Structure 1
Amino acid sequence: MQALAAVGLLAGAGAVVVGSSEVVAAWGDRVSGSAEFTAADVAFESLVDGVEPWALHAEDAPAVVNRAAPAMLPGTSVFWPVTLRTTTDSPAVGITVVGAAPQNALGSALRYTVVRSATCTAAAVSGAPPSDVVVGSAAAGVPVATGSAEGVVLLPAGTPTATGTTVPLCFRLTLPDTTAVWTDPSLPGSSTTVRWTLDGTAQPNGS
């Protein structure tokens, strides 16, 4: 029902030459030095629904929720966890949730919320304080085309020998219990695929 993609930034590489001034030809000297720089490899990976293995999940190979979602009636919701972490030696990464383009009337009717939570249940989402909400609100969702604020989720940097600390998220997708939904003749029996993208931007100072 959703896709995750790792988007990295690549800095340039170069060399620096430093030297002292030549004072007098007979008494002076000139020393040069150089240093080689390597661009950081910026990447993060995801574990979706606790089913798929950790992977980068590029846009052309998205992570897919494997658990079959039940047919939804107005007022019902489905939940799934998405856990993120930076890869080994990656700097910290700021995550932005990019909204999904609705495919049909059902996609346009759906609403979603994302919160930071290690558990992914109705109680966990509804009880999330404002500081834990990534998209939408604990009480109500927003259209699937709505994205988050830029860099709203910070993934801690990895180290040369270990991945970064994991950051758990919970997605809630709801078909609203409204008159408009109940009376729309195009919705019963319809289906849709919702594809979100998670964009990551390096955070040089980890913040």
Structure 2
Amino acid sequence: YMRYNNGSEELYDMRPAASGGDPLQFTNLASSAAHLATKAALRAQLDEELQLALADPGQLFCFGDGNPVACPCGNESRQGAREGCANSTGSGAALRVTGTASVAAANLQFHVSGALPGQPSMLLMGSTPIEQPFRDGVLCMGNPTDRIEVVLLDANGAGATSSSIAFESGASPGTTQYFQQWYRDPGGVSPCGTGSNLSNGVRVRWK
């Protein structure tokens, strides 16, 4: 099955020649009424693969804005900021992703910002999305929760992963994983006094 930029389609049946000549014969069946269902199925499969290839590598979810789960001590972040619950800086940490969600490419990278300067953080991964209060934030995933990589935050409270996320998380094509950054917010200073907080979540469907 082939589809061109102008929308035209070709559907080829490849079979050995009956006798002599070219060992393979190609017959374009795109206009055959008997093969409409086959063409439609292949068209849908191609569309799905294109959407995956062009889509963002990850989808953001589970924000600390109080909807649908309230932050532990009323420390909600600003609506529309798409970040975790507010920390001692007054805003929440934002987790974003770049690269591609390709196991083979192994170039997916997570970036956290808005966390606490100079503090350690940890990229977490779970196989199931959940939303429940935890420490100063909302835990977005679990069942189980795995620790993927330690990231030391810079003077701006930002940092990025450097390892192969696909390898460290045990990803395989077709699976969906959920990620979140857990970071230190020293006790006595953090809004709820627990000493740590969480970013928003990121959903990754691997291909």
User: Which category describes the TM-score, using the shorter chain as reference length?
Assistant: 0.3 to 0.5
Decide which structure has greater strand share.
2
Decide which structure has greater helix share.
2
Higher relative contact order (CA 8 A, sep 6+): 1
TM-score, L = length of structure 2: 0.38
